[in-house]
Amino acid sequence: MASRAVVLALLLAAVSASCARAQLQEKFYSATCPSVEDVVRKEMVRALSLAPSLAAPLLRMHFHDCFVRGCDGSVLLDSANKTAEKDAKPNVTLRGFDFVERVKAAVEKACPETVSCADVLALIARDAVWLSKGPFWEVPLGRRDGSVSMSNDTKALPPPTANITQLTQLFAAVNLDIKDLVVLSAAHTIGTSHCFSFSDRLYNFTGMDNASDIDPTLEPFYMAKLKSKCASLDDNTTLVEMDPGSFRTFDLDYFKLVSKRRGLFHSDGALLTDAFTRAYILRHATGAFKDEFFADFGVSMVKMGNANVLTGTQGEIRKKCSVMNH
């Protein structure tokens, strides 16, 4: 009897999740704000023509929104006492908040009180990839904005130090599987990272805090190059390209790097420790299946964008993304 109750509970949960996803529609604003994608893209084209390095942070912001309380725009909220998601350690290096507000203001001018900040961020992320020569995918829309943003909740974010077990568990928490994990990790093909996100691999891998305490899984020549850029564990300012040589282009070079043990983060290297993710990396390291990977990335982004969304009468449509309406 108990097992039947458990099965019923799981089925109800699945139906509930499916209903939430069903309420997201690619043409959700076709009657109420048909120009929304054009408005967002116009702002994105203008911004990235001036600052192409902004693409990766904007994509990252969408990831960080969806992994914490679902894709509800909560990462955008300010807090007077600095206890919001954006104030937590994993998010202090996020940038682009002012730009998101600018895009939202443009959308508000076209369609007042209609399009959520969560949807604006999802569209921004898609265009950030596409304008970086990556794939294009249709974004299901209809998300509503949440009203809760707590720094403690950011423990749900996959850290750069995570191993494959931790990664799969954190991804599973937002209904993403092991294929989504390896596919979405390839977002590291664009952008930069601060030294402190990976310098433990160079100087303090086992806690000894010295120059010989290195991560043995990191390719030696790449490690030497990283050490030349990140002089110590105390370096909090230096930025390093995650995909050296093409960090502004969304391509398959990430897989080539990881296959050669040149993934920047421990979490990148961890993908070689699982049979499925390793096979996926080696397949796409050949560069022969670009269309396949691009299609996979779009599918996984849509799947992530469905994570615990608020729809219908849930939440609100914020007028400004950094503050609740009331």
List the catalytic residues. Answer: 64
Q: In what helix (H) or strand (E) does residue 8 lie, and over which residues does it extend?
A: helix 2-22
SS3 24: coil
Question: What is the DSSP code string of 55-106?
Answer: HHHHHHHHHHHHHTTSSSSGGG---TTS-SGGGSGGGTT---HHHHHHHHHH
Q: Read off the tokens for 180.
A: 């989504």
320 SS3 class: strand
Show the DSSP H helices in 230-319 as ranges: 253-259, 266-270, 275-285, 290-305
Q: Which helix (H) or strand (E) holds 193?
A: strand 192-194
Q: How many residues does the chain have?
A: 326
Question: What tokens were used for 71?
Answer: 């894709």
Instruction: Say how far apart CA 285 and CA 259 lie, in whole Å.
Output: 7
Q: Does residue 313 contact residue 73 with C-beta atoms inside 8 Å?
A: no
CA distances from 16 to 22, 114, 223, 273 (A): 10, 24, 47, 34
Structure tokens given for 131: 């304008």
